[in-house]
Amino acid sequence: MIPQSGSHYTYLLEAFGPLPAFLYVWLVVTIQFPCSRAIVSLTFANYIVQPFFPGCAETPEAARKLIAIAVLLFLGWVNTRRVRWATTVQDVLAFTKVFALIIIIITGTHYLVRSGAESYENAFDGTNWHPALIATAFYHTLWAYDGWDSCNMIVEEMKDPYRNLPRAIAISLTFVTLIYVLTNVAYFGVLSPGEILSSEAVAVTFGQRALGVMAWTIPIFVACSTGGGINGSIFGSSRLLFVSARRGHLPKVLSLVCVENYTPVTSLFFLGEIPVKNTVTGNGCRLPLSLCV
């Protein structure tokens, strides 16, 4: 294990030298981080706005963008204030997400027990087994399991990383895999494969079918989940900028740390500016993000 923060940047630097590490950090700083954060913040905003416009095919764009910008600025500010604040917000949002998934699992299990596993009959009919399509499916799926990489971003801030980093990765991946598999089993207990494929937000469709008057809670839970993704991304990526600036691969000003709060304030400000601009301009990030991930 390399006991340094920076994740992929540090691994590339140690394995292949400064040039690949330099190219990587500029790619993720200018495209991947800001674009992914802008897209996720707009997703967060869409789920927050959706309950206020029931039955509408599309929510107001201005409202979505304003809420997306607000959550980016708020979470950025939280991360500049205290590390403890950022981790507390992350804990609360993670608990909310797990709580929502447990509700889905329990509800789906109830439907499976009551009505049987009709959705699982001939479940793989019509499946296209082309290797390219299977690879694409993995590509779209694995991002949901990538949260553990944030631990590699903050190795220098961990207590006893030689012990705690492997444990964190093993425990988190095992838990996430288990709960996601159970969630998908629950989805098929309520929805047919066709309904799942045609739904733009499977959890929301599940809530509308299974939770009745409480269906409005699902968009809120999904918003909390995406908010946790934004906060974790801000927390981890700011450390990547700090480490690469310390090495001279980014402007030195990005390696400054607040002497009162011990947070990389300049990196956090820099990371907040570009996603806000991308959020204002719209969804132009989707193509470059797909190309660089």
Q: What pLDDT digit, counting tens, does each position of 64-110 carry?
A: 888 988 998 899 999 998 889 999 999 999 999 999 999 999 998 88
**Span 8-19, average pLDDT:** 90
**Span 244-262, average pLDDT:** 89
The per-residue pLDDT of the chain, averaged, comes to 84
- How much is the pLDDT for 123? 67
- What three-state secondary structure class fits 245? helix
- How much is the pLDDT for 190? 86
Asked whether the predicted pLDDT for residue 280 surpasses 70, the reply is no
- How much is the pLDDT for 119? 66
Tell me the pLDDT band of 245, cut-offs 50, 70 and 90. Answer: very high
Which tens digit of pLDDT belongs to each residue from 114-161?
877 666 777 677 778 888 888 888 877 887 787 788 888 888 888 888
Asked whether the predicted pLDDT for residue 58 surpasses 80, the reply is no
- How much is the pLDDT for 291? 46
- How much is the pLDDT for 278? 67
**Span 238-249, average pLDDT:** 90
| Percent of the chain whose predicted confidence (pLDDT) is above 90 | 18
**Span 41-70, average pLDDT:** 81
Nearest Cα residue to 143 out of 246, 32, 49: 32
**Span 199-210, average pLDDT:** 83
Selected from 3.40.50.300, 1.20.1740.10, 3.40.50.280, 1.10.150.120, the CATH number assigned to the domain covering 8-120+130-292 reads 1.20.1740.10
- How much is the pLDDT for 126? 74
Residues 6+ apart with CB under 8 A from 201: 47, 219, 222
- How much is the pLDDT for 4? 82
Asked whether the predicted pLDDT for residue 236 surpasses 60, the reply is yes
Residues 6+ apart with CB under 8 A from 37: 72, 230, 233, 234, 271, 275, 278
- How much is the pLDDT for 153? 85
**Span 278-284, average pLDDT:** 61
- For residues 257 and 193, the model is more confident at 257
- For residues 260 and 140, the model is more confident at 260
**Span 13-26, average pLDDT:** 92
Residues 6+ apart with CB under 8 A from 210: 107, 108, 111, 190
Which tens digit of pLDDT belongs to each residue from 26-37?
988 888 888 888
Nearest Cα residue to 223 out of 103, 68, 87, 105: 68
Nearest Cα residue to 233 out of 103, 44, 49: 44
**Span 46-53, average pLDDT:** 79
Handedness of CA 141, 145, 146, 147 (dihedral sign): positive
